[in-house]
Amino acid sequence: MGNKRLEFKQTSFFLLLAITLSVMGGCAHDDPLKGFVKTGSPYQGGSYQPNLDLWTREARIYKGFDLELMVTATYKSTDFRKAYVNEYARVFKLNESDRKRLEQDEMLAAENHNEFLIASFMPESRINDFDKKTPAWRLYLVMNEAIRIEPAKIEKKKMDPVTQYFFPYTSPWKSIYAVRFKKNGPKEKTVPETGAAKIKLIITGVRGNAELNWN
């Protein structure tokens, strides 16, 4: 008698399980998230992530074991800008006219400037002041180990979702700067074109110095 009760309970359990799975399978056809594609990268493949990795560098300055400065910078090369345009157009579903306009703006910017997006962290936030007239730190761009150029403009940027999406190393604890070095000017005949140069971004101050290199 005990074995029959056990067999009945087992049969009831498997029958209930089969009904539950059948109902769940039927509901799946109406699941509004069925078309959602999971991916390890928010960029869904494409060329943006490889270009972001290729054109981004990080440097740190320590005093003993204490961190003085951590800086991450992306060099906005022509290739990087093209990947950025493609990803921006995909995310915001730009029509062809708007996409071409964005691409023209980016290519013009690349023609006129060597530009970097920089995110910096310092324990002493008061000296995170690259954009000031008398900063605690100075920035220089060195081309092919020969030509040193000072920034034409350093602009402090606000943290926003778009910036964080395209430059995920940014955060509310870092200061963000757009740094531009002119390509056209008195030295335009000696400044190599983008892609043909060995580029070095130098960050220096009384707390130390760091170099970020792009070949």
pLDDT tens digits for 37-59?
Answer: 445 678 887 899 999 999 999 99
Predicted local confidence at residue 39, as pLDDT: 53
CA dihedral 126, 115, 46, 54 (to 10 degrees): -80
- Report whether pLDDT(189) > 80: no
Global confidence as pTM: 0.75
**What is the rounded average pLDDT of the residues 152-166?**
95
3-state secondary structure 58-110: EEEEEECCEEEEEEEEEECCHHHHHHHHHHHHHHCCCCHHHHHHHHHHHHHHH
If one compares 143 and 102, the residue with the highest pLDDT of the two is 102
**CA 79 and chain centroid, separation:** 14
- Report whether pLDDT(12) > 70: no
Cα(170)–Cα(71) distance, integer angstroms? 10
Cα(200)–Cα(211) distance, integer angstroms? 7
